[in-house]
Amino acid sequence: MGSSSARRGRGPRTKALYCHPVGLDEWPEDPEVVERVPLVSCSRTGAAIDVIADRRTERRSQIVHTRARGREMVFWQSPNTRKQARPQVRTPTARAAGTEAELEILVDSHERYAYRFSGQQVRTTKRTLRCGDYGVEVDGRVVAAVERKSLPDLVSSLTNSTLRHAVAELATLPRAAVVVEERYSKVFALEYVRPALVADGIAELAVRYPGVPIVFTDTRGLAEEWTYRFLAAAWTWAQDEAVIGARIPGAASELGTAGPAREPTTAQVRSWARSAGWEVPDRGRLRPEVWAAYRSAH
């Protein structure tokens, strides 16, 4: 994992244990071994390191990097810890009012009837996005995107395979999702398409691209709210990922898959597609596979 720390106590049984980060050059050559425990897994997610031990009891624990009292702190905690430290959460300080109040959400310039996010502290910016209808960026790179679908649009894009290409492209981002402005039960009330065909298509995408959930939200209003919450959480995660990636030596960062926020124009891609032998319309949106071919060529 490339992280080392000194701590008190054998393990986080009833309370979180404070760990003091130390460099490898400060680590003693012959440390006192309290206990040796084989691990099933040890993986980092954002500002937290999840540890699963190969034993019957006290198997799960977590090492979290957070901020409290104006300084960086590390805690080792377990599910039994009464008051857990939240990874990389910044506790309120006098300067909190001076932080960024609005979340900037990128809206694809081709999106019709776009969400306004009027009930939230959001600033929208129209831009051609590589994939998805809404996204957020960190340091000029898109870190998360959401593809919006009504139920008729979902059914249409499933049956003509365009949704598969769109989800495949969403899967190249660190975080992405598809939000559907309808309840899942409505799939089985379809009249002109076999419900089983649609349900199987949704399940297949979920298995093929587990990192891109398809979320049914009942209504357009709830879909808008979910989109806002998802993008806000992804933006916060990306900020934490950048910080923790720099703090833990050798830690792999998922931000490496983030794509550029600024995309070529549709006209540029249309011109390239024609020169490459693709049949594309004179106006309107281009098929996802055309965009995918353009990016593969560039």
Phi, psi of 7 (to 5 degrees): -150, 165
Q: Write down the domain spans for the chain.
A: 5-77, 103-263
Closest Cα partner for 136 from 22, 13, 238? 238
- Tokens in use for 289? 């596979």
| pLDDT band with cut points at 50, 70 and 90 for residue 75 | confident
Residue with tokens 């300084």: 71
Count CB atoms within 10 A of the CB of residue 261: 20
pLDDT digits (tens, 9 = 90+) for 97-108: 223 568 899 999
**CA–CA gap between residue 230 and residue 7 (Å, rounded):** 35
CA 267, chain centre distance (Å)? 30
Distance set, CA 253 to CA 18, 241, 295 (Å): 25, 7, 23
pLDDT one-digit tens code per residue, 224-272: 999 999 999 888 888 877 666 656 655 555 666 555 545 667 877 888 8
Q: Which CATH number fits domain 103-263: 1.10.10.60, 3.50.50.60, 3.40.50.10130, 3.30.420.40?
A: 3.40.50.10130
Q: Which residues of 123-132 are buried (b: 16+ CB within 10 A; e: fewer)?
A: ebeeebbbbb
The answer, as to whether pTM is greater than 0.95, is no
SS3 of the chain: helix, strand, coil, percent, to 5: 30, 25, 45
Tell me the per-residue pLDDT of 3-45, one tens digit each, with 9 for 90 and over.
555 555 555 666 778 877 777 777 788 888 888 888 888 877 7
Question: What would the pLDDT profile of 125-164 be if each residue is shown by its tens digit?
Answer: 998 888 899 999 988 889 999 999 999 999 999 988 889 8
Q: Are 136 and 104 in contact (CB under 8 A)?
A: yes
